[in-house]
Amino acid sequence: MITLEAIAARAGVAKASVSYALRNHPKIPDATRQRVQQVARELGYRPNPRVSTLMAHIRRAHVREHAERIAFVWVHTSRAEAKRDSFLRLVYRGAGERAHQMGFKLEQFFTGDAGMTNQRLEQILRARGIVGVVFSPVITSETALHLAWDWRHFAAAVIGNVTWTPELHHAGHHHFLAMRLVLLELGKLGCRRPAALVETTSNDRGKHAWEAAFLAHHPVPAAARSLVRVLARDDTSDVGAWVRRARPDALIVSTTDLLDLRMVRATARAMRLPIVTLYWTEQTPRGIGGIDQCYDRVAGHAVDLVVAQLNSNETGAPDLPRIMLFPGRWIEPNTS
């Protein structure tokens, strides 16, 4: 069995330097890191997976005051927004709780801080010796992001479904299964002709999965196309008139904001339609059901993706990103 001591002796460095180099830790110079890794390959070194398991157990059992930090990077989100927005608070709480369980601490960084640039943030993280990075969901209208970091120094994961370049590991919501679940549950309530209003940006971020699931699993396939409408939040047309023409027996909205479009809420009330939203929160108006996306859990799984990389000494942009998607849970509407 090849030990760290054997690698250290062959490479002419300390045992601790070998450990850091094999984990791609930024405190070790690139040249030294590459030399140590080359020696390890030549000697046939293979990490013991049980050591990683043991270290994870030790971290969970006792979170040290100086526990290793994982950066939580708020993408295009201000400090005020992160504190004010209930969804973002839920996300950060879920990530923080999971990091604590795994023996790590989260440290927040904001791309929107005065004077902050992507390159400066990379420099700060490397100078602080922070390897693990979790990126927040993006609440702006962007559907794709590019971040030109030297990814060799980081083990990263993204919360949400925005497309990144390079593509990173991510944990997000399973839009397709969520819509399928909504249709199944509405079917149990006797709804055979549900209609859907889906906001354009959300539909694009989810790779049109809500729309696709609606068309694939609608109880009346021949009518499905006429019963779904993808529209922008600033749509000025009378969407209520569309709902009346569609003659649905339930209304699905991607977010309850769409109920504020012209005549939608009044039409749904007049037609006595059950309303469900694909983005249900504790702040959703009473009587409306739908899908709780459970983004505190999703954020926790993004932390798991980062910790798994740290425990396996993996850094860099992955050639085959891991994608963890979760459909959320059903909240039944009050139809009485």
Clarify whether residues 76 and 149 are in a common domain.
yes
Q: Residue 14: what pLDDT?
A: 86
Clarify whether residues 168 and 302 are in a common domain.
yes
Q: Would residue 335 count as lying in a domain?
A: no
Clarify whether residues 106 and 152 are in a common domain.
yes
Looking at 5-9, 158-162, 220-224, which range is the least confident one? 5-9
Clarify whether residues 303 and 165 are in a common domain.
yes
Clarify whether residues 300 and 258 are in a common domain.
no
Q: Would residue 191 count as lying in a domain?
A: yes
Q: Would residue 53 count as lying in a domain?
A: no
Judge whether residue 64 has pLDDT over 50.
no
Clarify whether residues 161 and 306 are in a common domain.
yes
% of the chain residues with pLDDT over 90: 73
Q: Would residue 73 count as lying in a domain?
A: yes
Clarify whether residues 253 and 263 are in a common domain.
yes
Clarify whether residues 219 and 322 are in a common domain.
no
Q: Residue 220: what pLDDT?
A: 96
Clarify whether residues 79 and 155 are in a common domain.
yes
How do residues 270-308 score in pLDDT, each as one tens digit?
999 999 999 999 999 999 999 999 999 999 999 999 999
Q: Would residue 278 count as lying in a domain?
A: yes
The answer to whether 199 touches 269, Cβ cutoff 8 Å, is: no
Write out the residue range of the structural domain in which residue 39 sits: 4-46
The H or E element containing residue 224 is none
Clarify whether residues 157 and 186 are in a common domain.
no
For 250, the 3-state DSSP assignment is strand
Q: Would residue 301 count as lying in a domain?
A: yes
Clarify whether residues 139 and 42 are in a common domain.
no
Which two structure tokens, joined as six digits, stand for 89? Answer: 């608070």
282 class by beta-carbon count within 10 Å (0-12 exposed, 13-18 middle, 19+ buried): exposed
How do residues 121-130 score in pLDDT, each as one tens digit?
999 999 999 9
Q: Would residue 248 count as lying in a domain?
A: yes
Q: Residue 88: what pLDDT?
A: 96
State how far the Cα of 239 lies from the Cα of 195, in Å rounded to an integer: 12
Predicted structure pTM score: 0.79
How do residues 191-236 score in pLDDT, each as one tens digit?
999 999 999 998 998 999 999 999 999 999 999 999 999 999 888 8
- Pairing type for strands 105-110 and 69-74 reads parallel
Q: Residue 159: what pLDDT?
A: 97
Q: Would residue 56 count as lying in a domain?
A: no
Mean pLDDT to the nearest integer, 233-242: 91
Measured N-to-C along each axis, helices 4-11 and 30-43 cross at an angle, to the nearest 10 degrees, of: 120
How do residues 16-32 score in pLDDT, each as one tens digit?
888 888 877 767 888 88
Clarify whether residues 288 and 144 are in a common domain.
no
Q: Could you tell me the strand order of the sheet in which 194-199 lies?
A: 228-231, 194-199, 250-253, 275-277, 289-292, 329-331
CATH of the domain at 311: 3.40.50.2300
How many domains is the chain built from?
3
